[in-house]
Amino acid sequence: MTVTVAEVSATGVIAVLRAPSAEAAVRAADALVAGGVTGIEVTYSTPDAERAIAEVADRHGDAVLLGAGTLTRPEQAARAVAAGARFLVSPGTEPGLARAMTATGALVMLGALTPTEVMAATALGADVVKVFPASLGGAGYLRALRGPFPDVPLMPTGGVTADNVGEWLAAGAVAVGVGSELCSPAAMAAGEWAAVERSARLFSAALSGARTGA
């Protein structure tokens, strides 16, 4: 089932899982979902990422918005979708890779930072532009990008915390991508799934608060 930008927006927080193993990625996804974060991006920097994607899809089905991230090679696109990914994310914008991603029919997020890169990403068919690393410019930079690109869905990744989720959304983010602040490598390596769930609850509450003005 094809993911829409509206679904990404409704999900709000996309957890970027750079897990030490496929098993850790699956356990982390379980903990994230238990904590209220249902946007899951399993990166290709995770060993045996496709197996992890398939297992998360099998365990959670439509309860999660499941994607594959850190795509760097064209052949990864079709394999990720076959495993169960419904959206695909690359950290940058490379034409051959972008074409392979869009050919799958999945929602595509291409990485960009500068205005020129945003234009290139949209020209190559990006449904969402992943502003990365967003920590370099902060919410003010994202707000500045909204000026020339008011209709481009922007998702900052890097530099997003539970304390500043509201700032990013107020600056015009369609959603936010969160890596170690939400699911730290140390917690995954140690199997501290309760800590991951607590972190997910913090982000879930922050998202709800930002949307309600609480």
Q: Where are the domains of the chain?
A: 5-208
Query: Cβ distance 110 to 157 under 8 Å?
Result: no
Which residue is catalytic, options 50, 94, 130, 181? 130
Average pLDDT over every residue of 117-129 = 98
Over the stretch 102-118, which tens digit does the pLDDT of each residue have?
999 999 999 999 999 99
User: Known catalytic residue: 130?
Assistant: yes
- List Cα–Cα distances, 71 to 12, 74, 129, 151, 200, in angstroms: 21, 8, 14, 25, 24
User: Known catalytic residue: 75?
Assistant: no
| Cα–Cα distance, 130 to 109 (Å, whole number) | 6
Q: What is the pTM of this model?
A: 0.96
Q: Which of 51, 47, 42 is nearest to 15 (CA)?
A: 42
Q: What is the pLDDT of residue 2?
A: 79
- 159 pLDDT tier (thresholds 50, 70, 90): very high
| Ramachandran assignment for 173, one of left (phi > 0), alpha (psi -120 to 50 degrees), beta (any other) | beta
Q: What is the pLDDT of residue 150?
A: 97
Which architecture does CATH list for 5-208?
Alpha-Beta Barrel (3.20)
Q: Which has more pLDDT, 212 or 78?
A: 78
Over the stretch 191-212, which tens digit does the pLDDT of each residue have?
999 999 999 999 999 999 999 8
| Cα–Cα distance, 145 to 132 (Å, whole number) | 13
| Cα–Cα distance, 22 to 42 (Å, whole number) | 9
